[in-house]
Amino acid sequence: MSIFGKRRTGALVLEDGTVFPGELFGAEPANLSDGVIGELVFNTAMGGYQEILTDPSYLGQIVVMTYPHVGNYGINLEDNESRGAFVSGFIAHEFCDEPSNWRSKKSLGDYFREKNIPALTGVDTRSLTRHLRDKGAMNAFIVAPAPATKAESDAIVKRLRALPPFGERDMVSEVSCREPYEWSETQDSFHGQWNVDIVKATDNPLVVVMDLGVKQNMLRSLVARGCKVKVVPVTHTADQILALKPRGVLVSNGPGDPARVAHAPETTRNLLGKVPVFGICMGHQILAHAIGAKTYKMKFGHHGANQPVMNLKTGQVMI
Of 87, 83, 79, the C-alpha closest to 57 is 87
196 within domain boundaries: yes
298 within domain boundaries: no
Q: Which of 161, 190, 211 is the C-terminal boundary of a domain?
A: 161
Q: Are both 38 and 122 inside the same structural domain? A: yes
Predicted local confidence at residue 166, as pLDDT: 83
Pairing of strands 36-43, 309-310: unpaired
297 within domain boundaries: no
Q: Are both 235 and 278 inside the same structural domain? A: yes
Q: Are both 14 and 157 inside the same structural domain? A: yes
CATH number of the domain residue 250 falls in:
3.40.50.880
Q: How far is Cα 251 from Cα 295, in angstroms, rounded to an integer?
A: 16
Predicted local confidence at residue 305, as pLDDT: 78
Q: Which residues of 243-282 are buried (b: 16+ CB within 10 A; e: fewer)?
A: eeebeebbbbbbbbbbeebebbbebbbebeeebebebbbb
Predicted local confidence at residue 303, as pLDDT: 82
Range of the domain at 262: 172-290
CATH number of the domain residue 139 falls in:
3.50.30.20
Predicted local confidence at residue 3, as pLDDT: 45
Q: Is-contact 85 106, C-beta < 8 A?
A: no
Q: Are both 216 and 126 inside the same structural domain? A: no
H helices of the chain, in order, are 49-53, 108-115, 125-135, 150-161, 172-175, 216-224, 238-242, 264-271, 282-290
Predicted local confidence at residue 4, as pLDDT: 45
312 within domain boundaries: no
Pairing of strands 181-183, 9-14: unpaired
Question: What pTM value is reported for the model?
Answer: 0.90
19 within domain boundaries: yes
Q: What share of the chain is helix, strand, coil (3-state, %, to 5)?
A: 25, 25, 50
pLDDT averaged per 10 residues, the chain (length 319)? 66 96 89 87 94 96 96 95 95 95 96 96 96 93 92 92 87 96 85 69 96 96 95 98 98 95 96 97 96 89 78 88
Q: How far is Cα 37 from Cα 255, in angstroms, rounded to an integer?
A: 16
4 within domain boundaries: no
Report which residue type is found at 278. F
Predicted local confidence at residue 1, as pLDDT: 41
